[in-house]
């Protein structure tokens, strides 16, 4: 078995509460610099075919730190979707509206995640991706989300080159305005479960986890939300935790999570996110 760096109980609970986990690859700086340079030189977005153009991206998602996090959250049979995309915010590009990439299915399990790779340092001036912790529990029409600006508790992903931000598929996110003089790149890949969990796939300590879950999943807040939302989240978090432990009814995933329901990305001009 590969020497993957699996998450521990607390890190998995943090993902349940906040909807994201940030991990650094073990690849050298030269690797990320080369990816950044190749992207900057490209004048066409290959869409789903980005791996054909940059096959070295396989190394990012096979990295022990990244793969370990994906296995921890989605199980040992984690699958890479065919849908993937290069998002680029050129210098001067305005902000993107808030949105959810997920299908807004009425469950609260970890079935699909985004894994966003940043090959360059991302500063506050470069149009970082912003996320709102805890919003994977909230459905909202995109048209209404487009009226929102800054949201209390939002987190800007100002990260180092080689970072992969793994987010729940329903987490609210947006690309912000690039006020720098260079483009900001992000490679978005999707990963999903092959089947519902039968047992924990991370470094699980059953004895310590029971008390930790009782405390964190009940009392810890993702943002300063209202009392009503806070109480609702407690139950949804427990449901998600129980499912990941393999205690919920298990079934093979339906085609709703297959790439057949994700529109194919054609060769287009680079897009922001």
Return the higher-pLDDT residue of 101 and 127: 127
Residue 141 has pLDDT above 70, yes or no: no
User: What mean pLDDT do residues 207-217 have?
Assistant: 94
Average pLDDT, the chain: 85
Chain-centroid distance of CA 10 in Å reads 18
When pLDDT is cut at 50, 70 and 90, the band that residue 235 belongs to is confident
User: What pLDDT is attached to residue 264?
Assistant: 39
When pLDDT is cut at 50, 70 and 90, the band that residue 232 belongs to is confident
Tell me the domains of the chain and their CATH numbers.
Answer: 9-197 (2.60.120.620)
Residue 268 has pLDDT above 60, yes or no: no
Return the higher-pLDDT residue of 107 and 238: 238
What residue ranges in the chain does DSSP mark as E strands?
20-24, 79-89, 112-118, 129-131, 155-156, 163-168, 173-175, 184-192
- Other beta carbons within 10 Å of 150: 9
Rounded to whole angstroms, the Cα distance separating 51 from 164 reads 16
What ranges in 110-205 are assigned the alpha helix state H? 142-145
Please give the helix or strand (H or E) that residue 65 lies within, else none: helix 64-74
**pLDDT tens digits for 152-193?**
788 999 999 999 999 999 898 788 889 999 999 999 999 999
Residue 261 has pLDDT above 60, yes or no: no
Rounded to whole angstroms, the Cα distance separating 267 from 273 reads 17
Query: pTM of the prediction?
Result: 0.85
User: What mean pLDDT do residues 64-93 have?
Assistant: 94
Residue 79 has pLDDT above 70, yes or no: yes
Decide if 48 contacts 264 (C-beta within 8 A): yes
When pLDDT is cut at 50, 70 and 90, the band that residue 251 belongs to is very low
Residue 253 has pLDDT above 60, yes or no: no
Residue 254 has pLDDT above 50, yes or no: no
When pLDDT is cut at 50, 70 and 90, the band that residue 263 belongs to is very low
Return the higher-pLDDT residue of 239 and 107: 239
**pLDDT tens digits for 5-56?**
999 999 999 999 999 999 999 999 999 999 999 999 998 999 999 999 999 9
Return the higher-pLDDT residue of 89 and 256: 89
Decide if 192 contacts 79 (C-beta within 8 A): yes
């Amino acid at each position: 078995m590969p020497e993957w760096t699996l998450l521990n109980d607390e890190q998995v609970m943090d993902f349940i509460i906040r909807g994201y986990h940030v991990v650094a690859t073990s690849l050298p700086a030269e690797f990320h610099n080369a990816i950044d340079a190749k992207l900057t030189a490209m004048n066409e977005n290959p869409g789903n075919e980005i791996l054909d153009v940059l096959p070295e991206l396989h190394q990012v998602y096979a990295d022990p730190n990244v793969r370990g996090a994906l296995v921890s959250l989605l199980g040992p049979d984690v699958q890479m979707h065919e849908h993937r995309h290069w998002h680029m915010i050129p210098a001067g590009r305005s902000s993107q509206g808030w949105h959810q990439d997920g299908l807004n299915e009425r469950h609260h399990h970890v079935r699909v995640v985004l894994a966003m790779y940043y090959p360059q340092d991302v500063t506050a001036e470069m149009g970082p991706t912003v996320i709102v912790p805890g919003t994977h529990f909230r459905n909202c029409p995109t048209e209404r989300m487009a009226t929102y600006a800054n949201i209390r508790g939002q987190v800007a992903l100002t990260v180092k080159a080689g970072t992969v931000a793994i987010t729940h598929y329903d987490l609210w996110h947006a690309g912000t305005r690039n006020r720098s003089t260079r483009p900001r790149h992000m490679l978005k890949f999707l990963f999903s479960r092959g089947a519902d969990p039968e047992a924990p796939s991370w470094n699980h300590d059953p004895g310590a986890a029971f008390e930790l879950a009782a405390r964190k999943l009940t009392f810890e807040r993702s943002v300063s939300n209202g009392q009503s939302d806070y109480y609702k989240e407690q139950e949804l978090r427990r449901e998600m935790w129980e499912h990941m432990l393999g205690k919920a009814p298990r079934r093979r995933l339906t085609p709703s999570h297959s790439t057949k329901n994700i529109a194919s990305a054609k060769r287009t001009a680079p897009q922001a996110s």
